[in-house]
A = this chain, B = another copy of it.
């Protein structure tokens, strides 16, 4: 069932069918109806490859994210979901590309074989060769996260510096003097991951400002690493009373470690950080944290990309978000008395 078949059955030429469908030239009401009728009868839908070849647009956007190996985090899932749905609303499909660097085969395919009209990059590094490459060949893209020099490029990002600082101030206000910072895995920090770098930066500066004693750690993206890391923290400085983390996947491990060490959260120890809201609420006690608005970010990224595709000459736009800290149940004043200060679900009512 191709356009020629439709044309034949409707008794018109192929071009007329095309114009009837696209509306780019007037077609008489009669023929339009006749064509539509044939199309409905046969359930015709134009072939995407042929259309893409002819008009140079694939109606597909690429979503580039680093391969798992290391694990996926919940945040990535939220991005993938929201990007896909936002794209669907614009009649774009989403092609997944698991690429960490610009030399990845799948990344080359996206670009070189022109499989997509534009790309959204996740997990940006401060120096990102993937983005450099895209910029060099003038390929429309939007990043979730921003590089060291984000001017003139399209992105939606989180103000990790401010967010980490806000966590520090929150803890300092509660009286904490010795706090730890738990970052994403060292490998990612080294590679220059934006959130890891800027988060660390914001934390360090804010802590210096408030005159706090701090230690910083890197930690694998899983609960077991979290547990190990927490043991290390308490070993290095048993007087630590709080931690700030960017590592949502390790959260369960921190809690477990604290429980094992007999530290009650938040009575004896406060935990906070920058985490997707949905995951902050999945742990007990619920995490006081700056909630990463992953869904909104995915949507915004698609909005920007579509705009860029529709109006190629628009000057670069971006969105820098800095969500407030959501107060939940994992932080409290330092050195508080026993039970009376435990929030929300106070004394166990053991039967």
**A282 and B351: CB pair below 8 A?**
no
Identical chains bound together, number: 2
Asked if A326 lies at the interface with its beta carbon under 8 angstroms from chain B, I say no
**B348 and A262: CB pair below 8 A?**
yes
Proximity string of chain A (69-98) to chain B, C-beta cutoff 8 Å, 1 when within and 0 when not: 001101011101110110010010111111
Asked if A60 lies at the interface with its beta carbon under 8 angstroms from chain B, I say yes
Asked if A303 lies at the interface with its beta carbon under 8 angstroms from chain B, I say no
Q: Decide: A95 near B281, CB < 8 A? Known: A81-B68, A262-B350.
A: no
| A114 CA / B256 CA spacing, docked (Å) | 50
Q: Decide: A81 near B72, CB < 8 A? Known: A47-B114, A113-B46, A259-B284.
A: yes
What is the total number of residues of chain A having a CB less than 8 Å from a CB of chain B?
A: 70
**B106 and A88: CB pair below 8 A?**
yes
Q: Which residue of B lies closest to A81 (CB)?
A: B68
**A282 and B93: CB pair below 8 A?**
no
Asked if A159 lies at the interface with its beta carbon under 8 angstroms from chain B, I say no
Q: Which residue of B lies closest to A258 (CB)?
A: B284
Asked if A185 lies at the interface with its beta carbon under 8 angstroms from chain B, I say no
**B278 and A222: CB pair below 8 A?**
yes
Partner of A113, one of B45, B88, B96, B348: B45
| A348 CA / B262 CA spacing, docked (Å) | 5
Q: Decide: A112 near B45, CB < 8 A? Known: A281-B223, A284-B252.
A: yes
**A93 and B106: CB pair below 8 A?**
yes
| In the complex, chain B residues whose CB is within 8 Å of the CB of A67 | 85
Asked if A260 lies at the interface with its beta carbon under 8 angstroms from chain B, I say yes
Asked if A43 lies at the interface with its beta carbon under 8 angstroms from chain B, I say yes
Partner of A49, one of B53, B81, B88, B97: B53
